[in-house]
Amino acid sequence: MKFGVVIFPGSNCDRDMLDALQHDLQQEVVALWHKDSDIASFTTNDCIVLPGGFSYGDYLRCGAIARFSPMMQSVIAFANKGGKVLGVCNGFQILCESGLLPGVLLANANQQFVCKNVYIKNTNDASATPLMIPIAHGEGRFYAAPDVLAAIEANHQVIYRYCDAAGNVNEQSNPNGTTNNIAGIKNAQGNVFGMMPHPERACNAALGNQDGVQVFETLLGVIAQNIIA
Ligand X SMILES: NC(=O)CC[C@H](N)C(=O)O
Chain residues in the site for ligand X (CB under 6 A): 52-54, 58, 62, 89-90, 136-140
- CB nearer to ligand X: give 64 or 76: 64
Q: Compute the least distance from the CB of residue 75 to ligand X, in Å.
A: 17
- 92: three-class secondary structure by DSSP: helix
Whole-angstrom Cα distance, residue 8 to residue 220?
Answer: 23
Question: For this structure, is 200 an active site residue?
Answer: yes
Nearest CB to ligand X, comparing residues 82 and 138? 138
Beta partners for 182? 161
Three-class DSSP category at 16: helix
198 assigned to active site: yes
Catalytic site residue from 89, 96, 163, 203: 89
CB 215, min distance to ligand X, A: 15
Nearer to ligand X, 84 or 137 (CB): 137
Dihedral of alpha carbons 206, 136, 4, 225, sign: positive
Q: Which of 34, 97, 139, 200 is catalytic?
A: 200
Cα–Cα distance measured from residue 80 to residue 215, given in angstroms and rounded to the nearest whole number: 24
Q: Give min distance, CB of 95 to ligand X, in A.
A: 12
Question: Beta 2-7 vs 84-88: how paired, if at all?
Answer: unpaired
Contact (CB, 8 A) for 170 and 79: no
**Whose Cβ is closer to ligand X: residue 46's or residue 139's?**
139
H or E stretch including 148? helix 146-154
SS3 76: helix
Catalytic residue among 62, 137, 139, 198: 198
62 catalytic residue (yes or no): no
Q: Which residue is nearest to ligand X (CB)?
A: 52
Taking the complex as a whole, the smallest distance from the CB of residue 155 to ligand X amounts, in Å, to: 26
Q: Which residues are catalytic?
A: 89, 198, 200
